[in-house]
Amino acid sequence: MNPDNHVSRRIALGIGVAGVGALATGTVRGGEPIRQETPPGKNPANEVKLLPTRKLGRNGPMVPMLAMGGDMEATNAPGLINRAWASGMRYYDTAQKYGHENEEAIYRRWFAAHPERRKDIFLVSKDYPKKKGPEELLTMIDTRLEALGTDYIDLYFIHQLCPEVYGAESVNWGKSDVFRKVAETLKASGKVKMVGFSCHGGPEYIQAAADGGFLDALMVQYTPFYERGGAFDRALTACHEKGIGLIAMKTLRHAGNVPKRLPEFEKLGLTTHQALLQAVWSDPRISAICNSVRNFDQMKSSIASAHGYKAPLEVSLVNRLKDAVLASRRTMCPGCPSCDAKVASTGFAFRDVARYVTYFEQDNYGQSRDLYLALSESARDSSQADLKALHEACAFGINYPEIAARAERYFA
């Protein structure tokens, strides 16, 4: 029996109540077959065990289920990139701003030293078209290519699309004729194969992409504990039905204080963090997880989880994970939709501020202060925001008043 069809015991993550019957028949809404991950392959040159893959969107390639996330410490990045390659990772994610805007140069030197590797990897980069909007990507792409030392990028994102960075009108970019024409031009040039955005805004941004129907992929803040049938769930399904690939990000950031091992997952040979990754892969709409990597132990653990994924986690196990995460009460917004309505009502970038505080406290991340100070003065100003209301609205109980005070203490 296919374990994905055993819906009486397995969780139909991310497709809502109405989708359970569809999962049992091997389809999701819209009649599209569930994307089955391929078994791990081998590189014939050196017998490296490659990661299992899933199809990215309706027209995209098969991509590894796990991506090498960027924004690494500059001293560690070259070694981590090489270890990732040797460990079978073939999906690399970077951006203009990562590594104090130096990370792309590390990839440029890596490609120069190993030119044969470029064709074997899926490469993502991102940019900030803050001045002119999507049209600015048409000139920015040449800078990205030069910085990376490559002739093309497999997937090119507008980075961190949200009202705090691009203004309230940016919610409509995903369905605008301007962005459509930009995406078409970029792909026709051969400089880019796929176009999309990384979403730091609410589900309305994801829904706009579905309404537009022309983007190839999105990267979304994802927790497996979101409201089934809620706005985020519906937006993901709408994108999936339009053939837009979905990549999960920040899946572990809210789990820094979760116990590393719990008895329920010990029996399955999984750490708690490995189980969280598998809970995300249990959603058939998610093609890959972009996983931030700070050291080789983290990378090795995540790779093992990808190779070990066989079927969706049971509902009881996902609920156990949720209880453990709630009990840990991390400072970082986990990406659930409980406070989305508050985003438009305040200029204070509370999600970003909470993220930078988490980076600083959890990872001792040296760039946290720079990231905080790079925000506009108004985005750092919490005096006009109702932080108590944000705290009360948060399903995870994140204490935004305390976080804002800590950010001032740490960074200002």
Q: pLDDT of 259-274, one tens digit each?
A: 888 889 999 999 999 9
CA proximity to 163, closest of 389, 366, 376, 17: 376
Q: pLDDT of 155-194, one tens digit each?
A: 999 999 999 899 999 999 999 999 999 999 999 999 999 9
Average pLDDT score over residue span 334-340? 63
CA proximity to 294, closest of 73, 66, 87, 86: 73
Q: What is the pLDDT of residue 330?
A: 57
Q: Residue holding tokens 């970077």? A: 94
3.20.20.100, 1.10.260.40, 3.40.630.30, 1.10.10.60: which CATH number matches 3-328?
3.20.20.100
Q: Residue holding tokens 């705090």? A: 164
Q: Mean pLDDT in the chain? A: 84
Helix axes 296-308, 77-86, angle to 10 degrees: 30
Distance CA 141, CA 121 (A): 19
Helices (H), 25-73: none
Average pLDDT score over residue span 372-380? 87
Phi first, then psi: what are they for 123, rounded to 5°?
Answer: -110, 130
Phi first, then psi: what are they for 404, rounded to 5°?
Answer: -60, -40
In the predicted structure, residue 285 carries a pLDDT above the cut 80: yes
Integer CA distances (angstroms), 232 to 207, 218, 235, 244, 340, in order: 8, 13, 5, 15, 10
Residues with Cβ within 8 Å of 233's Cβ and at least 6 positions away in sequence, in order, are 14, 15, 16, 226, 227
Domain map (residue ranges) of the chain: 3-328, 337-411
Q: pLDDT of 66-102, one tens digit each?
A: 999 988 887 788 999 999 999 999 999 999 988 888 8
Token readout for 402 is: 């305390």
Q: pLDDT of 195-230, one tens digit each?
A: 999 999 899 999 999 999 999 999 999 989 888 899
Inter-residue contact 108 to 70 (CB < 8 Å): no
Name the band, by pLDDT with cuts 50, 70 and 90, for residue 329: low
Phi first, then psi: what are they for 28, rounded to 5°?
Answer: -115, 175
Average pLDDT score over residue span 2-30? 34
In the predicted structure, residue 243 carries a pLDDT above the cut 70: yes
Length of the chain: 412
Distance CA 225, CA 334 (A): 9
Q: What is the pLDDT of residue 364?
A: 56
Q: What is the pLDDT of residue 362?
A: 62
What is the model's pTM? Answer: 0.76
Name the band, by pLDDT with cuts 50, 70 and 90, for residue 358: confident
Token readout for 85 is: 């390659």
Inter-residue contact 246 to 218 (CB < 8 Å): yes
In the predicted structure, residue 323 carries a pLDDT above the cut 80: yes
Q: 344 or 303: whose pLDDT is higher?
A: 303
Instruction: Give rounded-to-5 percent helix, strand, coil for the chain.
Output: 50, 15, 40
